[in-house]
Structure 1
Amino acid sequence: MPSDERPRHILPVIILAQFFGTSLWFAGNAILPELQRDWGLAASALGHVTSAVQLGFISGTLCFAILALADRLSPRQVFFGCALLGAGANLALVALPPSLEALLLLRFATGFCLAGIYPVGMKIAAGWFASGLGRALGWMVGALVLGTAFPHLLRGLGTTLHWGGVLAAVSLAAALGGLAMFLLVPDGPYLRKGARFDPRAVRQIFGGRELRAAAFGYFGHMWELYAWWAFVPALLKAWALQHDVALNVPLWSFTVIAAGLLGCGIGGELSGRLGSARVAYWQLSVSCGCCLLAPLAIGWSQSAFLAYLLLWGITVVGDSPQFSTLTARAAPPALLGSTLTWVTAIGFTISIGSIQLLGSLVRDYPIGELLPLLAPGPLFGLWAMRRLLPARA
């Protein structure tokens, strides 16, 4: 469909709905300092809470793929239903007695519902864009970044807001996003049924050289990404305590994470000239360097430290759309959907390992000294990607 025939509101509504829906992802992280204070939760709870969402998302992704729910039902119905259920799971914590087990169960349920929001939102966008899909998906990944950061913004702007109020605001936003998608975005003219999920596609990831390079690069990226997002507030707090400076940690957490939108946008523009592999390689290189600099950076001045975190925020996720592009290009066409499902599931499983590793050590070691433990992921990814780089003339 030519852009002049497509309703102008379609892409903005999809982006806004994706932004509101994915705000559920880190809602538990944004309020965790208050829960640790009020419920007496240990420092390791941060790793457990983040991992619960990741595990829920992995389970939901595989379940949705096996059952082909987005093919059996209209994708916008699936998106709407999961947005409402995710909003309910997020808000239910307010009504339950203080319990780490209940918190983890509800975060798992929220993650499961997110599998019907983020990937399904991509499918809805693909139904409206035969050309220009890459640009549309770049905005979609940017919406995920902003959604991830959004609960921190609520906490940063409303410092007196009770944690239950933060959850209520995020849940309301998610529900409204789902409703907007359902009412304002009909099924697009290019909507196609996905191929039947084939578990055997996992062999392709480790068998084909080009696909293996793209997937392994993504796996290394995922070792770093969500663990860093989870521990950004802890790093900001540690710097503020060390320098005895009053810092709005939630607001700066939002700013640093949201900076990834620039990385996605700039990377998308540069990929047309430089190629996705080169853009992903250099962004992954910079974020790897940021991992290694963490023990030194925490001693820097405020302006230097915040500039360093903004650079890290830009590059830590800016390579993500390029890895998706590289994986899609290298996957066998008949197994594209199944391959992407497996790569996503494996990548999020890997992220649980790094989250749990930092979560188990943060009580005994300064967070600045722990962040270099994220560097092996990008280093592995860079090593795996070397065959994808174009040869120099």
Structure 2
Amino acid sequence: MELILLPSRTSTTRPAVAVALVATSTLLSMSAWFSATFVVPQLKVDWHLGPGGTSALTIAVQLGFVMGALLSAASGIADVVTSRRLMVVGSVGAAACNAGLLLCDGLLSALPLRVATGLFLAAVYPPALKEVSTWFLRGRGKALGVMIGALTLGSALPHLVSAVGGVDWRIVIVTTSMLSALGGLVVLGVRGEGPYPFPSRRFSFAAGFRSLRNRDVALANVGYIGHMWELYAMWAGVGAFIVALPPIARRSDADSFGALLAFLCIGTGAAGCLVGGVLGDRWGRPRAALISLLCSGGTALVLAGTYTALPGGAVIALCAFWGFWVIADSAQFSAMVTEHADPDYVGGALSLQLALGFVTTMLTLWVVPQLVERFSWHVALAVLAVGPVVGVSAMVAADRRHRAMVRTD
């Protein structure tokens, strides 16, 4: 049964302003995560890292995030402590851990800090999703889409920096640490509660895990896992895929031009998040997610079978189309959780969903480069399409339940 919340009268900030502040705060805070992608190329040289070492720096943040999200789901802290307070603690903690890289001289000393950075960021992202959800009911999908769209641009930004080049990694670390700490201050600009607050509760171990008993939440989680199977591997690999295309590889500026194209292909996802949110509010979350999964997974399969036979321009256009739809459904899975989970456990349920998704990304971030090296991009792209197939199955079932509920109402 869909969650119905009565509006509160304690709001002193306009909903649009609140969402803008939370989105900005989250983007700034998550810059500590993005910093790994910024600096890895230079650290590869300075710290003499091999492929395994560079992957470890990226995956370590994912691991820390999963640990933090599972801790939140197990303890119920996201449903006890106010979202904005958690975001402040998480952003400042992530900034401190990120700045600690300046004192490191190699991979062994850096990895614990990257894990800790991810752990603190787990106190930023899930609470931010919960906070945004308290400000909207009917337009919740679009509001969450705006926030995730901002993060999509943040994820694309390292490719733009790579295209420009010439920025010392220490400057990047200092800058992203300051931005992350600033993110904690920005969210303090939100005054009062959203008009649709979730109830607060006492600490309860495994509170978030109770959401798995809810079939609608479980289907949303399966869809999210399928979505995340594809998403981060696409974001991480599209630059290398583009540079490997013969028309790009023959250019003298192949690396910088390929990075610019990767930025554009990933950046289109910001618009995709907004479109996905509009579709979700209008047609229902499952159907909007279903459309996105079909488009993104279908594009991966088309590229897998034809990219060597197509002109370079057509391949880039397909990559941009892929980037648009690969993230368009993300907000809808979160919205489904906020609307169907027990309102006492929404924070924990969101944390658990994100933990499941990011565990999945750790697998594909490792598997895809191995498939490319041992086989080809044809095989790697086909494997990426497996996730959307799983997600589509879950969303077909969720859409049937949604339509049955609408007919009953």
TM-score range (shorter-chain normalised) is 0.7 to 0.9
Tell me the secondary structure at the aligned position of residue 33 of structure 2. coil
Distance 2:12 2:210 in 1: 42
Distance change >3 Å, CA 315–CA 270, structure 1 → 2: same
Question: How far is the alpha carbon of 1:197 from its aligned partner?
Answer: 4.4
CA contact (8 A) 1:238 1:367 kept: no
Q: Normalising by structure 1, what TM-score?
A: 0.86
Query: Equivalent residue for 1:282?
Result: 291
Question: How far is the alpha carbon of 1:181 from its aligned partner?
Answer: 1.9
Q: 1:170 aligns with which of 165, 170, 176?
A: 176
Query: Equivalent residue for 1:291?
Result: 300
CA contact (8 A) 2:72 2:348 kept: no
Tell me the secondary structure at the aligned position of residue 327 of structure 2. helix
Query: Equivalent residue for 1:251?
Result: 260
Distance change >3 Å, CA 121–CA 208, structure 1 → 2: closer
Query: Equivalent residue for 1:76?
Result: 84
Query: Equivalent residue for 1:110?
Result: 117
Distance 2:247 2:48 in 1: 21
Paired AA for residue 147 in structure 1: G
Distance 2:54 2:296 in 1: 22
Question: How far is the alpha carbon of 1:179 from its aligned partner?
Answer: 1.9
Question: How far is the alpha carbon of 1:332 from its aligned partner?
Answer: 4.4
CA contact (8 A) 1:264 1:321 kept: yes
Q: 1:100 aligns with which of 104, 107, 130?
A: 107
Paired AA for residue 107 in structure 2: L
Query: Equivalent residue for 1:140?
Result: 147
Q: 1:16 aligns with which of 18, 21, 24?
A: 24
CA contact (8 A) 1:70 1:120 kept: yes
Is 1:91 paired with 2:99?
A: yes
Distance 1:44 1:303 in 2: 32
Is 1:382 paired with 2:382?
A: no
Aligned residues: 389
CA contact (8 A) 2:371 2:379 kept: no
CA contact (8 A) 2:11 2:193 kept: no
Per-residue CA shift, 1:52-72, capped at 9, x if unaligned?
Answer: 111111111122344454566
- Which sections of structure 2, spanning at least 5 residues, go unmatched? 1-7, 405-409
Q: Normalising by structure 2, what TM-score?
A: 0.83
Query: Equivalent residue for 1:355?
Result: 365
Question: How far is the alpha carbon of 1:208 from its aligned partner?
Answer: 5.0
Is 1:265 paired with 2:274?
A: yes
Paired AA for residue 191 in structure 2: P
Distance change >3 Å, CA 24–CA 299, structure 1 → 2: farther
Question: How far is the alpha carbon of 1:310 from its aligned partner?
Answer: 1.0
Q: Percent identity?
A: 32
Q: How does 1:190-205 map to 2 (within 5 A)?
A: 190=195, 191-195=197-201, 196-197=203-204, 199=206, 202=209, 205=212
Question: How far is the alpha carbon of 1:266 from its aligned partner?
Answer: 0.6
Question: How far is the alpha carbon of 1:135 from its aligned partner?
Answer: 3.2
Distance 1:369 1:202 in 2: 35
Distance change >3 Å, CA 39–CA 238, structure 1 → 2: farther
Distance 1:9 1:230 in 2: 32
CA contact (8 A) 2:44 2:54 kept: no
Q: 1:150 aligns with which of 148, 151, 157?
A: 157
Question: How far is the alpha carbon of 1:112 from its aligned partner?
Answer: 0.9
Question: How far is the alpha carbon of 1:192 from its aligned partner?
Answer: 4.6
Query: Equivalent residue for 1:180?
Result: 186
Distance 1:323 1:14 in 2: 19
